[in-house]
Amino acid sequence: DSGVTQTPKHLITATGQRVTLRCSPRSGDLSVYWYQQSLDQGLQFLIQYYNGEERAKGNILERFSAQQFPDLHSELNLSSLELGDSALYFCASSVEDGTEAFFGQGTRLTVV
Amino acid sequence: AQKVTQAQTEISVVEKEDVTLDCVYETRDTTYYLFWYKQPPSGELVFLIRRNSFDEQNEISGRYSWNFQKSTSSFNFTITASQVVDSAVYFCALSEARSSASKIIFGSGTRLSIRP
């Protein structure tokens, strides 16, 4: 158990809908990362937060947004969902910027 | 810009063979971290090791060893006497420690299959 909690574990939704993925980092970790892993693909960096502030952005679509709350949990919002958004979404946390990140079990999103 | 290349897409070996997974990285920063992660068939990502750019000592942990060479920008991972449980996708990753945005960038992964 990495200590990072992601909910829900599975999500099935229809095209055009909006979903929110939630992540609770390890106790004491200030940095939260979001990654997307499509079928047989690598890990695509989406966005990073550090102590509530956006720190880095990757190839995150405009339909996607995220935030980190004062209690350090983070949410990833995906809207106007398309079939191609079906993927495993991982959250990870680290104690400091750029140090080893520990991953949650992921949320498997299926858009039908 | 930071980049990680894992040229080996898939490797298949027979149990008990040694296997080396290659990782080549690019960065303009002088201070950075390198990582290896394991993703078994169950899907979770497991952190294996972190290496700091200023520490070129090789590391051994049981059957696992890591060879970091700054001269060739490589951080290779060797599994000795492989076992079926080692079957997984292995990712090499890099973060630039002095950057104001130290995101962790992953290579495309190497799928390792260990045949009994």
Residue B5, chain A, CB below 8 Å: the answer is: no
Q: What is the pLDDT of residues B47-73, one digit of tens each?
A: 999 999 988 888 888 999 999 999 999
CB contact under 8 A, A42 and B43: no
Q: What is the pLDDT of residues A65-99, one digit of tens each?
A: 999 999 999 999 999 999 999 999 999 999 887 78
Residue A42's pLDDT is: 85
Residue B9's pLDDT is: 95
- Give yes or no for residue B75 having a pLDDT over 70: yes
Closest CA to A47 of A108, A106, A99, A89: A89
| Helix, strand or coil, per DSSP, at residue B72 | helix
Which two structure tokens, joined as six digits, stand for B12? 């298949």
Task: Give backbone dihedrals phi and psi of A88, rounded to 5 degrees, phi first.
Answer: -100, 125
Residue B106, chain A, CB below 8 Å: the answer is: yes
